[in-house]
Structure 1
Amino acid sequence: MGKVVIIEYGAGNLFSVETAVRRLGYEVACSADAEVIRAADKVIFPGVGQAAAAMRQLKESGLDTVISSLRVPVLGICLGMQLMCEASDEGNTDGLGIFPVRVRKFGSESKVPHMGWNGIRELRSPLFTGVNEGERVYFVHSYYVPVCENTIATCDYQREFSAAIRKDNFWGCQFHPEKSAETGARILENFLKW
């Protein structure tokens, strides 16, 4: 099945991601060690928190360059997905630059964060094999990735935004597959089987 590594960099609840991966029958390790991450067959890059603080932690540990150089499938979740973008309005933060798009802040016209279950549409990736248009997944975020050339799924909250993105071996989910019941488990398994 291959070794799955979850990047541990002090930004997020890794336990729920680790539990979801184990539940699917995969061996998984949480690590901040560059060599362990480079030796993985699949890498998950989760994140909860503030973009500038998270990028600072990645740079201090050297993990920013490790993540960008990975050639195995990488899945960014929530803040992890946003940090893989070029930059973020949150703290005017430079990201890893994998996706050439800027993360934007939701406007004041609706309640933020966007929190709870919402449908995903325009599913354009094997990541969504067995997932139907409009199936609901769990979101919690105040910033979003605009729809762009890398968008493989959309969601609507105030405006249409990228629910998921992909470029080469890098995928990102704005929602939390580990908290999205059967639909999330299917998406996670599709990634792990890639």
Structure 2
Amino acid sequence: MIAIINTGCANINSVRFAFERLGKTPTVITSPEQLAGYERAILPGVGHASVAMKRLVDNGWQQAINEYQRPLMGICLGMQLLCESTEEGNVQCLGKIPGEVKALDVGSLTSPHMGWNNLSIQQAHPLTKGLHKDDQVYYVHSFAHTVNDATLVSSEYGQTFSAIVAKDNYAGMQFHPERSAKVGTRLLQNFLDWQL
């Protein structure tokens, strides 16, 4: 039912375990040809955007993700790769979600942005069901998607940035839902429940 795309740029076990706690057993897939056989998919990611994007392109994932018509969600760097471009390495990304990823302007705050932070709902969506304004999620990042029409939920750290984005069948969460306790569990369940 659920595919976790293994591009070699993510620790996928924590994501897999989070879905198993919800009673689902995702399959880690390593070949783009496998993707079409699943009802929904997760694109996790950690590390440098230019390295991760090169792996996606070189290994044929870009076309498979472009052709996928069911719910697909990126997590952390995976979310950023679904956007149009990123300042990290100045690379063009998959272009499935409108908007650019830029370095966080943290001012006098510490970078990267690491730890728990509040969510602010910008627009209602199946992915935001059950969220409350005092809910917190866990972040580790120094780049973020600029707030635009694709932004469902935002957070603030030196500046306002997108926490959850969505366009058509593609979505992204900048934080780590798999590390975000009950709130993260709720959000992953929302992804499982999301009907296009």
Would the TM-score normalized by the shorter structure come out above 0.5?
A: yes
Cα offset, 1:100, TM superposition: 2.3
Q: Is the 8 A contact 2:106 2:159 kept in 1?
A: no
Q: Per-residue CA shift, 1:72-96, capped at 9, x if unaligned?
A: 1001100000001111000101100
- Is structure 2 residue 153 aligned with structure 1 residue 150? no
- Is structure 2 residue 89 aligned with structure 1 residue 91? yes
Question: How far apart in 1 are the matches of 2:180 and 2:160?
Answer: 20
Q: Per-residue CA shift, 1:124-159, capped at 9, x if unaligned?
A: 222121221130000000001011010000101001
Cα offset, 1:183, TM superposition: 0.5
Equivalent residue, structure 2, for 1:129: 129
Equivalent residue, structure 2, for 1:103: 101
Which of the residues 48, 51, 65 maps onto 2:49? 51
Equivalent residue, structure 2, for 1:20: 18
Q: Which runs of 5+ in 1 are unaligned?
A: none
Question: How far apart in 1 are the matches of 2:66 and 2:112?
Answer: 28
- The TM-score, its normalising length taken from structure 2, stands at 0.95
- Is structure 2 residue 111 aligned with structure 1 residue 112? yes
Q: Which runs of 5+ in 2 are unaligned?
A: none
Question: How far apart in 1 are the matches of 2:113 and 2:66?
Answer: 28
Q: Per-residue CA shift, 1:142-177, capped at 9, x if unaligned?
A: 001011010000101001110010000011000110
Cα offset, 1:32, TM superposition: 1.7
Q: Which runs of 4 or more aligned residues in structure 1 lie more than 3 Å from their structure 2 counterparts after TM superposition?
A: none
> How big is the alpha-carbon RMSD for the aligned residues of Structure 1 and Structure 2?
1.0
Cα offset, 1:35, TM superposition: 2.5
- The TM-score, its normalising length taken from structure 1, stands at 0.96
The count of corresponding residues between Structure 1 and Structure 2 is 192
Q: Is the 8 A contact 2:106 2:157 kept in 1?
A: no
SS of structure 1 residue aligned to 2:89: helix
Equivalent residue, structure 1, for 2:36: 38
Cα offset, 1:108, TM superposition: 5.7
Question: How far apart in 2 are the matches of 1:68 and 1:160?
Answer: 29
Q: Is the 8 A contact 2:49 2:81 kept in 1?
A: yes
Q: Is the 8 A contact 2:16 2:25 kept in 1?
A: no
